Structure 1
Amino acid sequence: MFSFKEYSQEILVTIVLFIVLMLLRVIVAKLIRKFAKTSERLEHRTNLVIKYVHLLMNILVITSLIVIWGVDTKDIFITISSITTVIGVALFAQWSILSNVTSGMILFFSFPFKIGDTIKIHDKDFPIEAEIEDISAFHVNLKTKDGERIIYPNNLLLQKGISIMPAHSYEEKDFFD
């Protein structure tokens, strides 16, 4: 039978862990929103990054709860190895998706271009000059001066050379052509 006295320490630590998780979620969300506001990032991209960070925090809390409640190490190992195997096979089959999501996170925090910028992608086979319309978790939406819409994977943006064109490059080209 379950006794509160027998598990009082685990219950107390679990409650503290959940309180810390909630506080950290609020603090981290505010910090990411502050970063996004100062670096002029879009709200839906900010929310996506916050979701990713919250997911990571939840995984860490679940792992902590397993340790706190003293689940048998053999059971943990079997469970984690099974889950890792399934996830590993799925991710290996879909490595480009993971690569694009990771690239989307890198683009959010560190890349110098933003929505509205005109960029030139230095690709030997398929050079592109276009305006960035949106940056999502998997791809970037581009629009050329001819109105063509291009969906470009995030991971390729990190692999190719990129030039950020002056803010009014299309107008100048139209004026001189």
Structure 2
Amino acid sequence: MKTFFINHQEELFRSLITFGVILVLKFIFTKAVRKVGKIGDFNKVRTNLIIKYISIALTIITIAILTLIWSVNFKDLGALLASIFAVIGVALFAQWSILSNITAGVIIFFSYPFKIGNTIRIFDKEINKTDYNGDETYVIEDIRAFHLHLRRSNGEILTYPNSLVLQKGVSLVQMYNDETQEL
């Protein structure tokens, strides 16, 4: 055991620095997301979801850095990674809409002007195919990782994918505090 520490002193030191930097970055990003969530008055569930995404990304980056530090044999690793990526590629292709909705959920968290309780209008003929009049408004009940929960004027709950919120025209009709606006 002692010889391992002596022979791999440099790799251990670099690994320790990597873990330290990643922990500091996780702390900074978590604090920044919580601050954005507090300033934007976002739901804590949404804030925690974004923090989880950041943690996963930092974990992947850490694993990549550690494989470089420890000089992993890429010939052996290549075969393993090729088969893993083949399986993941098929799974991701099959689940592409789920990934696009998660990505859209992150974008909505940071850059969209509406919150839970706001009244919005969505310019999409597909959701009102039978009785589209262009004036249908929805109250945002919840914003989830994959979709929004919208309440129609007749009380019906509609789940609307996050990716479509970014693709379709959406106007903010009424804010939660009853300030009427069109954006």
Tell me which amino acid in the other structure corresponds to 1:46: T
Where does the alignment leave 5 or more consecutive residues of structure 1 unmatched? Answer: 173-177
1:80 CA drift (Å): 2.5
| Distance (Å, rounded) in 1 between the aligned partners of 2:5 and 2:126 | 68
> What code does the residue aligned with 1:54 have?
S
- Structure-to-structure mapping, 1:66-81, within 5 angstroms: 66-81=67-82
* TM-score of the pair, normalised by structure 2: 0.86
Counterpart of 1:175? none
Q: Distance in 2 between matches of 1:167 and 1:108?
A: 17
What is the match of residue 129 of structure 1? 137
Q: Read off the aligned partner of 1:7 and give its amino acid letter.
A: H
Q: Does 1:90 align with 2:91?
A: yes
* Counterpart in the other structure of 2:146: 138
Q: Structure 1 residue 8 and structure 2 residue 46: aligned? A: no
Residue 167 of structure 1 and its aligned partner are, at CA, apart by: 3.5
How far apart in 2 are the matches of 1:136 and 1:101? 9
CA apart distance, 1:125? 3.1
Report the AA paired with residue 41 of structure 1: F
**Please, which moves more after superposition, 133-142 or 72-81?**
72-81
1:160 aligned partner, one-letter code: K
Offset of residue 153 of structure 1: 0.9
When normalised by structure 1's length, the TM-score is 0.89
Q: Distance between the aligned counterparts of 1:126 and 1:115, measured in 2?
A: 20
Letter in 1 for 2:111: S
Q: Which residue does 2:21 correspond to in 1?
A: 20
* Alpha-carbon displacement from aligned partner over 1:98-147 (angstroms, at most 9, x marks no partner): 11111111111111111111011111232442100111100101112221
Tell me how large the CA RMSD over aligned residues is: 1.9
**C-alpha deviation, 1:88, in angstroms:** 0.9
Q: Distance in 1 between matches of 2:73 and 2:154?
A: 63
Aligned residues: 170
For 2:16 and 2:127, how far apart are their aligned partners in 1? 55
Displacement of 1:70:
0.6
CA distance in 2, matches of 1:60, 1:108: 23
> What amino acid sits opposite 1:119 in the alignment?
I
Partner of 2:133: none
In the other structure, the counterpart of 2:132 is none
Structure 1 residue 19 displacement after superposition: 1.6
Q: How far apart are the structure 2 equivalents of 1:70 and 1:125? A: 54
